[in-house]
Amino acid sequence: MATKSLASCIFCKIIKGEIPSFKLIETEKVYSFLDIGPLSKGHALIIPKYHAEKLHEVPDEYFADVLPAAKKIALALGAENYNLLQNNGRIAHQEVDHVHFHVIPKPTASDTEGLVVGWPAQKPSMDELKKLHEELLSKL
């Protein structure tokens, strides 16, 4: 399997062991560890062992272990409520330019721990949705 890394990338350095981490799960394709700036106790990261800034740049085979790792982490945490989050690009809140997934426990309904989300729902017309649907289907 081809791998790709970037010498200046903090996550690539963690994968290589050049920067210490609190490793949780490692497979041929992914590496997971505790976040050192957690939103809640047990907040973990899962990173493909292929350096790419955005999700669509990572070869599909590197995603095979992501959800099984997330599930194992959530179960180990005993998290009844949690978020699985993946951001692409600065304005979408991506801070590290290496694709990564967050497992973020949400222990209470408060805004003091865990992920806090605003959801600015829009109200497109059925015609707008139909047009978008047709456009997307033509590209899939």
User: Catalytic one among 98, 100, 102, 133?
Assistant: 100
| Chain-centroid distance, C-alpha 109 | 22
Contact (CB, 8 A) for 103 and 74? yes
| Of 39, 45, 11, residue with least CA distance to 25 | 45
Among this protein's residues, is 43 annotated catalytic? Answer: no
CA distance 44 to 64: 18
Contact (CB, 8 A) for 40 and 106? yes
Tell me the two tokens of residue 94. 């991506």
Q: Dihedrals φ, ψ of 125, to 5°?
A: -75, 160
Q: Report, as residue numbers or ranges, the catalytic residues.
A: 100
